[in-house]
Structure 1
Amino acid sequence: MTLTEVLLDIASISTLMFIAFLIRQRIPFFQKYYIPTSLIAGILGLLLGPQVLGQFSPVSLNFSGSISQWTNFLLAFVFTTSFLGTASTKFGRDVAAATCITGAVFMAQILLGLAVAFVLGMVMSGVPYEMGLLPVSGFYGGHGSAGIMGGVFQTEGWAEASGIALTYATVGMFAAVIGGMWIINWGAKKGYSKRKMSGNYLEKKDMTGIIPKEDRKPMAMTIANSSVLDPMAFQLAIVGTIIAVSHVLREAIIKVLPFWSNIQLYTMCLIIGAIVGIGLSKTKYNQYIDRGSMKAISGAALEYVIASNVATIQLSVLASYLVPILVTSVIVCVVTAFMCIILSKKWYGEDWFEVAMGTYGQCTGSLATGLLLIKVLDPNGDTLAAESVSGSCTLGSFWQQPYNTVGPLLMLTAPAVVTWGTAGFLAAFLIIGAVFLGRTVKKGVAA
């Protein structure tokens, strides 16, 4: 990997996003269903790449091998900024509600995957029971989690596991964004969202993607004196410092606890960023962090994550295990959407639909796609949905990582332990949510 290769990849994705932006201005379908420019750009990159155009043309769009590292790199910025500059007094209960929702969905996805694998294994050959554990690694955790769980299975002798897990992650990403956009429009027509999303309410800025001159607002506030340090550079310095601290702490922990190497850097950034953000929110030092700048940094990184991920999807993986993957994907996505909507409405309270879509995006694609769906519903960050879902992702690591690392080993040696243990965890999340969170919503406590 060279800096020139990185620069050319950035230039290619940027060009695709600019072209996609122009295409979106002219195609009503993309406008009506709020298809984001980053998704359109990614699809363009996929179609113009070696897997599609390259099959019958000597000229195609090629990315360097380093683009596969973009997700971990860019998510470090997205996750670090999640809590910086926020001053929420309702943070605790919001995160608790979102955590119970995603926790219940996580366990349900495992049980659904195992059930489908068990049934298909009786009527089809080559569908092992342990395959039922792979959907959650792709849907809930995205490509990073899928790579971890698939890699563990692979080291234990199941060579196809990594490819299957990554395929689930790929399908999940499409289900998260495209399915999420459909649900958003359905919910908007029902009046569930604060922002009217129906095609009947499209404003000119939604159609063209350009905000009229008279409606434009400052993107961020200037805190640092530009004669001393550029204001955005000052905010980036804060973000970079937290990333550096996260890296040092992660490396130190790995020396003591080697299994911590399975914890990605962006997860550490989310943890440290949350500690710093929450800690500073109640002090005078919070004035040095500009929330607008943090949103700008996070938003830009998120756009490039989505575009690059879609543009580099491996289509060949979809050919293998197609039937069980499709059956499991449909069932898991439908049940996930149902649970996110119902549980959010019962347990979260105000802004429940924004949280429902955020948790759906997180639990079918990744936290990045969850934040993307929230961004569509809440582009100005007027709700605590993004913070709630991000916080639930942090807490979710405490059960997600053991399933990713130890889960495959238990599935191969003691599958009953995984099955019944997961059922117990699901029951616990449902009981906690119903007893503690459901009551507060009924009493009218703001969420």
Structure 2
Amino acid sequence: MGSTFPGVIAFALIAALLVAGSLLRSRLSWLRASLIPGSIVAGIIGFVGLSAGLIPGYGPSDFTALAFHFFTLSFMSLCLTGSPKPAAGEQRQGIVGGGLWLTLIWTASLGAQAVIGYGLMAGYDLITDSDLSPLLGAIVTHGFTQGPGQALTYGTIWENDYGIANAAQVGVIFASLGFVAAFLVGVPAARHFLKRGLNANRHSTLDDDFVRGFHTPETQPSAGRQVSHAGTVDSLAWHLGLLGVAYVITYAWLSAMQPLVAGNQVLSVFFSYNLFFIHGLTVCVLMRMAIDRFGWAAKVDDDTLKRITSGSVDFMVVATLMSIQIAVLSALLVPILLIAVAVTTVTFFGAMAIGKLSGRLGPERAVTAFGCCCGSTGTGLLLLRMLDADFSTSVPKELAFFNIAIIVVNIPTLFFVAPIAPSLGAWSYLAIFGGYVILMLICIPLLLKWQRSRGNRTAPIQEPNPS
């Protein structure tokens, strides 16, 4: 049985680090003041431990797959969760409208980050007389806006088919730095909105429990309801079983499609296991539609699914930070940090400026979009959780729409251009990704006009009247 332990212990290490990181965050005053999630603290501890050889028998590659699957699980569980019901008299921008704003920010970021990364790496080569491929800078957009799974996908293609050394690992490093940047910048932004009461969910505040990281016995909220009798099956096991059904269906679907699309590079990428979460997300949306259509909603507890979503995000963040290889990071430290800082700055101001236009949930969308563009959608969920602790606004569901919309909108860049990017000339690559940025800027007034035509008038974020 000894051979069965490595994978289980890798998961147990992540879980144990979450405990250690959360306790440190609760005990150390400077960590409490920063409001950085315990998962980030845990991931940094794990990264340092692996880099220093303090976790014998394990390396960064042992945690890459776990990061991928927890990311997938977080969104499949979110899409199984029912739509939030608005309170009586509540006026709220529709999920489609909000999802379009998130899609616009993400798509503009995808193009801008690619251009910035490519340009800065090319400039670094000229100044230092290095011989690095500019695409090692451009892959920042796949690491930041898409996360470790997609950075690995494209990086591996570039590495194996076009000979760009370390492309996959540089992509993972950018994805990990994106997580760190999202919280170093995103947490203070979220705290700014919280302190001024600009978030819609009034249950999310900077109270003592939030700062401390743990609830007192008097303030502990419910974590969901039991929908199945324990004599038949535990309720948590039931909900994990529903996700298991979706996982099996998605795996069977991809396994059936892959032989049919073999030989077509674009379709092979789309139906690869690296894009499992897109297909799994769609399966879960269809499953939820069937659950609601046939009156089975009473057999699904949305709060339990939200806990699975949040927990999966925590595990995913730790695993991703532990996937960084210190050797590659140290060798390319200067250009990687230069690109990461530039991309984070541009992405933050872009997300805040566009999010401000999107309406009453502008703070939630701005912070969420920034997280999505500097790590993954899971990072956006973590930042959103600061402003919307129980996911009661429409923004989590907007994220579900957004995850489908960004694929549709970005089919040319993600499935035609990105896989063959090394074969393109510099100006062709920059024109394609830069063109997407310009297109998204043109779409801003069109989206505002469409909102107003539907009665969803937007207004800039205003400071609340102290009176």
TM-score bracket relative to the smaller structure: 0.7 to 0.9
| Among 286, 289, 311, the residue aligned to 2:297 | 286
Q: Does 2:206 match 1:171?
A: no
Q: Does 2:207 match 1:203?
A: yes
Q: Rate the CA distance shift 1:195–1:22 in 2: closer, same or farther, 3 A.
A: same
| Among 339, 348, 357, the residue aligned to 1:328 | 339
Provide the rounded CA distance (Å) in 1 between the counterparts of 2:429 and 2:187. Answer: 34
Q: Rate the CA distance shift 1:161–1:30 in 2: closer, same or farther, 3 A.
A: same
Q: Which residue number in structure 2 is paired with residue 403 of structure 1?
A: 414
1:80-139 deviation line (CA, Å, top 9, x unaligned): 111223225832222222112211211121222233234334333224443442111111
Report if the CA contact (8 A) 1:82-1:274 is conserved: no
| Among 139, 142, 145, the residue aligned to 1:140 | 145
| Among 68, 71, 74, the residue aligned to 2:70 | 74
Q: Which residues of structure 1 form unaligned runs of 5+?
A: none
| Among 154, 157, 176, the residue aligned to 1:152 | 157
Q: CA deviation at 1:332?
A: 0.9
Provide the rounded CA distance (Å) in 1 between the counterparts of 2:220 and 2:196. Answer: 29
Q: CA deviation at 1:334?
A: 0.6
Q: CA deviation at 1:70?
A: 0.6
The residue type equivalent to 2:49 in the other structure is L
- The TM-score with structure 1 as length reference comes to 0.88
Q: CA deviation at 1:335?
A: 0.7
Report if the CA contact (8 A) 1:72-1:264 is conserved: no
Report if the CA contact (8 A) 1:97-1:437 is conserved: no
Provide the rounded CA distance (Å) in 2 between the counterparts of 1:194 and 1:28. Answer: 28
Q: CA deviation at 1:196?
A: 8.0
Q: Which residue number in structure 1 is paired with residue 383 of structure 2?
A: 373
Indicate the SS of the match to 1:284.
coil
Q: Which residue number in structure 1 is paired with residue 462 of structure 2?
A: none
Provide the rounded CA distance (Å) in 1 between the counterparts of 2:5 and 2:292. Answer: 40
Provide the rounded CA distance (Å) in 1 between the counterparts of 2:330 and 2:350. Answer: 30
Q: CA deviation at 1:218?
A: 2.3
Q: Which residue number in structure 2 is paired with residue 244 of structure 1?
A: 248
Q: Does 2:85 match 1:85?
A: no
Indicate the SS of the match to 1:215.
coil
Q: Rate the CA distance shift 1:3–1:115 in 2: closer, same or farther, 3 A.
A: same
Report if the CA contact (8 A) 1:111-1:422 is conserved: yes
For residues 100-119 of structure 1, what are the structure 2 equivalents within 5 Å? Answer: 100-119=104-123
- The TM-score with structure 2 as length reference comes to 0.84
Q: Which residue number in structure 1 is paired with residue 190 of structure 2?
A: 184
Q: CA deviation at 1:278?
A: 4.8
For residues 222-237 of structure 1, what are the structure 2 equivalents within 5 Å? Answer: 222-237=226-241
1:315-350 deviation line (CA, Å, top 9, x unaligned): 22212233322222111111101111111111x212
Report if the CA contact (8 A) 1:407-1:418 is conserved: no
Q: Rate the CA distance shift 1:251–1:120 in 2: closer, same or farther, 3 A.
A: same
Q: Rate the CA distance shift 1:420–1:67 in 2: closer, same or farther, 3 A.
A: closer
Report if the CA contact (8 A) 1:176-1:364 is conserved: yes
Q: Does 2:101 match 1:97?
A: yes
Q: Rate the CA distance shift 1:277–1:344 in 2: closer, same or farther, 3 A.
A: farther
Q: Does 2:442 match 1:431?
A: yes
Provide the rounded CA distance (Å) in 2 between the counterparts of 1:68 and 1:84. Answer: 25
Provide the rounded CA distance (Å) in 2 between the counterparts of 1:214 and 1:163. Answer: 46
Q: CA deviation at 1:295?
A: 0.7
Report if the CA contact (8 A) 1:189-1:197 is conserved: no
Q: Which residue number in structure 1 is paired with residue 39 of structure 2?
A: 38
Provide the rounded CA distance (Å) in 2 between the counterparts of 1:210 and 1:121. Answer: 48
Q: CA deviation at 1:439?
A: 5.1
Indicate the SS of the match to 1:222.
coil
Identity %: 21
The residue type equivalent to 2:78 in the other structure is S
Report if the CA contact (8 A) 1:169-1:365 is conserved: yes
Larger CA deviation: 8-17 vs 265-274: 8-17
Provide the rounded CA distance (Å) in 1 between the counterparts of 2:235 and 2:110. Answer: 41
The number of equivalent residue pairs is 438
Q: Rate the CA distance shift 1:218–1:150 in 2: closer, same or farther, 3 A.
A: same
Q: Which residue number in structure 1 is paired with residue 257 of structure 2?
A: 253
Report if the CA contact (8 A) 1:137-1:404 is conserved: no
Report if the CA contact (8 A) 1:103-1:426 is conserved: yes
Q: Does 2:28 match 1:27?
A: yes
Q: Rate the CA distance shift 1:441–1:334 in 2: closer, same or farther, 3 A.
A: farther
Indicate the SS of the match to 2:356.
helix
Report if the CA contact (8 A) 1:358-1:370 is conserved: yes
For residues 331-346 of structure 1, what are the structure 2 equivalents within 5 Å? Answer: 331-346=342-357
Q: CA deviation at 1:389?
A: 2.5
